[in-house]
Structure 1
Amino acid sequence: MGKLTTHVLDTANGRPGAGIKIELFALAGDARRALKTVTTNDDGRCDEPLLEGAAFATGEYELVFHAGDYFASLGTQVPHPRFVDRVVLRFGIADDSAHYHVPLLVSPWSYSTYRGS
């Protein structure tokens, strides 16, 4: 059975992004349905898959990472408004038997992602 996982790396400080709020939404056209809200653990990961089993299905999804709040909690000096605040990643799941890992590498000035394993 497939599953969806994520993790966050703080590239500005060279450590896991611990304590970052992440929201997961299912998308259907213009509709957006909230599925789950989690907070990353000390390793920058979620304690369990975001989706698995019967809940893991093909379709379009959105992850929202509250990166700006994370950097503010560290006391990072950034301008107002923040350059990177909430990072929104929209992606598709085409194979419900595969593992989709969607990591975020983030700093107050940039971010990147990829489909991991």
Structure 2
Amino acid sequence: MSGFLTTHVLDTARGCPAKGLKIELFRLSGNGRHLLKTLVTNDDGRTDEQILPASEFEIGEYELVFHAGAYLDASGTPPESPRFLDIVPIRFGMSEAAHYHVPLLLSPFGYSTYRGS
């Protein structure tokens, strides 16, 4: 089995998928990070393509950056200045060629993630 990476973002405050949320994927190495890809979630809160398909998969350390503040602004969540949550970075390692699913459950004042399936 080849490895690949996916995500799913759910807006738990509104009870719906987080449509239109910008996500960036970085590969970490040493003290640096390299931007690999930028995607936006679709109507189902997923990306239209795998974030990291099998053809690009490498074991290593990565960071997904979820632009929560811009999504919350666009979704009509009452604004605050500054937003409690703006950028949500999730750093994780992929140690085997497998399906890694890193979902984000998001609200204006909290979030959670886990290794999904």
Normalised to the residue count of structure 2, the TM-score between the two structures is 0.96
* Contact 1:60/1:90, CA 8 A, preserved across alignment: yes
The aligned counterpart of 1:112 is 112
Structure 1 gaps of 5+ residues are none
Name the amino acid aligned to 1:62: E
Distance in 1 between the 2:80 and 2:52 partners? Answer: 35
Normalised to the residue count of structure 1, the TM-score between the two structures is 0.96
CA shift for structure 1 position 78: 3.3
SS in 1 for 2:61: strand
Task: Note the alpha carbon deviations across 1:50-96, whole angstroms, 9 max, x for none.
Answer: 11223101100000001111110122113211101110000000002
Distance in 2 between the 1:53 and 1:111 partners? Answer: 28
Structure 2 counterparts to residues 1-117 of structure 1, below 5 A? 1-96=2-97, 98-117=98-117
* Contact 1:23/1:63, CA 8 A, preserved across alignment: yes
Distance in 2 between the 1:75 and 1:43 partners? Answer: 18
Structure 2 gaps of 5+ residues are none
CA shift for structure 1 position 48: 1.1
Distance in 1 between the 2:38 and 2:61 partners? Answer: 17
Displaced runs of 4+ in structure 1, greater than 4 A? none
Query: Percent of aligned pairs with the same residue?
Result: 62
Distance in 2 between the 1:109 and 1:76 partners? Answer: 11
SS in 1 for 2:33: strand
Distance in 2 between the 1:81 and 1:100 partners? Answer: 33
